[in-house]
Copies of this chain bind each other. A is one copy, B any other.
Amino acid sequence: MAEWTLSAALNRALIDAMENDPRLLVYGEDVGRLGGVFRVTDGLQAKFGEDRVFDTPIAEAGIVGAAIGLALTGWKSVVEMQFDGFSYPAFEQIVSHVAKYRNRTRGRVDLPIVIRIPSFGGIRGKEHHGESPETYYAHTAGLKVVAPSSALDGYRLLRLAIEDTDPVVFLEPKAKYWAKEEGELIADGPEVGEGRVVRDGDACAVFAYGAMVARCLEAADMLEGEGVSIRVVDLRWLAPLDVDLVGRSVRETGRAVVVHEAPKTLGMGGEVAARIMEEAFDFLQAPVARVTGWDVPYPPAALEHRYLPSVDRIADAVRRVVSY
């Protein structure tokens, strides 16, 4: 049985997709000769040549803007923003063009562009290297946003994102790049917008994505010992959100906790909480709890562990919600 890291699985997804589609390009800063600072594009340039895999100047707006022009000429792009905090220079191109182009051209121009962004914290990185940008992109109408939580799922989701004719912001949890998972890489599976139950339970539904999913599973083990069984849901897609799975999970458990690294205010937790009310108000037996990063800038390495939702904080929230 093969063992995959998220980095290797994503690398394989790119290779397989490029072999399937000769008009798929991969470019960005240091993705060529170096193979990306996280090695996700390792070996691609040697394999597919400098025309299809290339380094660009340090110009994020230029990179994303170019992807639009390339799409107009029938080239699909997977571009990399080197880190979450460095996707911001491209914000105007992403929000004003990538998200709106199909709509403003009355469906005549699809933008099959995947914007890969190594995201979130947990790697003792410097400032601007631990941002959780999902709210910025998921709030933007016209963008699809996905964040895998594991290697095998990451492979599938990246293939799915590349297949999609709409632009997809692909948020890769840096903290999981080197985490291993056993199994085979399989491209097919659930569609865009489908979350998954990674562990079932009936006392409370816990929603998470990216690196927080693993923490929720740890919390689940801890709580199991206390006789509290929780359902852990990996949302995967932050836009479109799997509102049906969210609703069903709360109708079946009556309680919910949402976990994410991003600051609390206007994070996914608020959106999920609001959806829960819309989908399952009468089943709700306790207020939805949000276990999130604080409303402060991402802290330096020395304080990271005091900022990120810990297993204890997650478990405490569940206990509070369950005993409400």
Contacts and interface: CB of A to CB of B under 8 A. Distances in A.
Given A103-B297, A287-B278, A96 B85 contact: yes
Given A88-B92, A91-B91, A265 B139 contact: yes
Nearest to A99: B297
A142 interface: yes
| Among A269, A270, A288, A290, residue most surrounded by chain B Cβ atoms (within 10 Å) | A270
| Among A89, A265, A266, A288, residue most surrounded by chain B Cβ atoms (within 10 Å) | A266
| Among A88, A136, A277, A278, residue most surrounded by chain B Cβ atoms (within 10 Å) | A277
A126 B88 CA distance: 24
Contact of A273 (B88, B128, B270): B270
| Count of this chain's copies in the oligomeric assembly | 2
A296 interface: yes
A95 interface: yes
A181 to B, nearest CB: 30
A266 B277 contact: no
B265 A290 contact: no
A25 to B, nearest CB: 25
A317 to B, nearest CB: 12
A295 interface: yes
Interface string A245-263: 0000000000000000011
| Among A99, A104, A278, A287, residue most surrounded by chain B Cβ atoms (within 10 Å) | A287
A239 interface: yes
A34 B294 CA distance: 43
| Among A92, A274, A296, residue most surrounded by chain B Cβ atoms (within 10 Å) | A274
B270 A281 contact: no
Contact of A271 (B99, B142, B265): B265
A160 to B, nearest CB: 20
A196 interface: no
A222 to B, nearest CB: 24
A146 interface: no
Contacts of A286: 281
B287 A277 contact: yes
Interface in A273-309: 273-275, 277-278, 281, 286-288, 290, 294-297
B266 A296 contact: no
B269 A96 contact: no
B265 A239 contact: yes
A236 B262 CA distance: 24
A89 B141 CA distance: 18
Nearest to A88: B92
Given A89-B92, A99-B297, A100-B127, A290 B274 contact: yes
Nearest to A324: B281
Contact of A266 (B100, B104, B138): B138
Contact of A288 (B99, B267, B269, B277): B277
Interface of A: 61, 85, 88-89, 91-92, 95-96, 99-100, 103-104, 127-128, 135-136, 138-139, 141-142, 239, 241, 262-263, 265-271, 273-275, 277-278, 281, 286-288, 290, 294-297
